[in-house]
Structure 1
Amino acid sequence: MSNIELKGLYEVTSSSLPPVHNWKPPFCGDMDMVIKANGEWFHEGGKIKRSAMVAMFSRILWFENGEHFLVTPVEKVRIQVEDAPFLITRWQWIETERGRAIEFATLTDDVLVLGVDCDLWMDWYKEEERPYVSMRYGMKALVGRNVFYGIAESLEQVEAPKGIGMGIISAGKSYLLMQDA
């Protein structure tokens, strides 16, 4: 089991992202850290209760070959993720250059605009179909149930590459959420 060296990350604020895509540290082993399917983070069996700590870890999260890692300039440790490492907890309609769009915010304060910074799709986790949005470095965020119910109030008939049905149009892009039979 490994603990990750956090020296040098003190300048990373909750709104900035360190250049983890430029860091190529050696793999140092596994860390006893799990991101649960409900978005909660656990270390050595205990829930991480400090939201600032979870946000800081989320900024150094890296996805590679189907696995998740915490990465610093000097080391890389593997962690476990049950479903999606991020959870969308808030949303709102905003106006963009591309028209009306949905702005999402994650539990760790990442802000994404559907159709600009991310895309939305439905997929299966265990025996439940769930909505997800794309995140940085090939990761994904689960759209929280309350957010999805809020969005569902804006469903309209859409035509998307996967077919015709009920969905959302955000920043001029169509997202099919329920296909016509």
Structure 2
Amino acid sequence: MPYDVPPDLAGLSLADAAALLAARKLPPVETWTPAHCGDSAMRILADGRWLHEGRALTRPAMVRAFSSLLVRDAKGTHWLVTPGQKLSIAVEDAAFLAVDVTRQDGALLFRLNTDELVVAGPDHPILSRGDPDTPALYLGVRHGCEARLNRSTYAQLVALALDELGDQDDPENLAVTSGATRFSLLPA
């Protein structure tokens, strides 16, 4: 099946993004209860690279396919789930990287390292972790999995937050709004 790379974020309206999101058919991993559990011998590094038995997966289509099968349980363990098996996968930080962000029609639209699009909101919250000296921002993706914002996307989001602050000049209120939801960019 051919893969069409989504257009540049800046060129998408929120309606365009919604249409692309609606067209993407993800497997119903939340309904599968496979009998066999094991280890996938896979690892997702903090920089977003995927490894199998220590060797990099170099085919982006394979990474996209595997990423559509990811879930994270309440204990924080990541799993690749198919109808026949559930295999653990080691994740150094987050399963995805957010590599771009734009504000469209009052919402924040993110692109992940898998070329997926995510609109921040109640179902896909922006989470601030770490401490004031070393903050880290994450985006809820699906099934408990998250994307860590890479450095440039983090900087883009802070610039958007500073625009929202305007003349207030109160860094204690550094936050962004997506739709009707406001997200603090400061660790609690």
TM range (shorter): 0.7 to 0.9
CA drift at 1:106: 0.7
| Aligned ranges 1:1-181 → 2 under 5 Å | 15-64=24-73, 65-95=75-105, 100-115=106-121, 117-124=123-130, 128-155=134-161, 156-157=164-165, 165-178=173-186
- Normalising by structure 2, report the TM-score: 0.76
CA drift at 1:146: 0.6
CA drift at 1:68: 0.8
SS at match of 1:140: strand
Provide the aligned C-alpha RMSD in A. 2.4
Instruction: Indicate conservation of the 8 Å contact 1:116/1:171, yes or no.
Output: no
- Measured against aligned partners, the alpha-carbon deviations of 1:92-145 in whole angstroms (never above 9, x if no partner) come to 1111xxxx11101111122111125411121139x9421001121111110111
- Measured against aligned partners, the alpha-carbon deviations of 1:63-88 in whole angstroms (never above 9, x if no partner) come to 12321111111111111001100111
Aligned-partner residue type, residue 90 of structure 1: D
Distance 1:174 1:69 in 2: 30
SS at match of 1:80: strand
CA drift at 1:153: 1.3
Larger strand proportion of the pair: 1
Distance 1:94 1:130 in 2: 23
Aligned-partner residue type, residue 91 of structure 1: V
Distance 2:184 2:88 in 1: 34
Larger helix proportion of the pair: 2
Instruction: Indicate conservation of the 8 Å contact 1:101/1:169, yes or no.
Output: yes
Unaligned runs of 5+ in 1: 1-9, 159-163
- Normalising by structure 1, report the TM-score: 0.79
- Measured against aligned partners, the alpha-carbon deviations of 1:34-54 in whole angstroms (never above 9, x if no partner) come to 001111111111111111000
Unaligned runs of 5+ in 2: 6-23, 167-171
How many corresponding residue pairs? 158
Q: Percentage identity across aligned positions?
A: 34
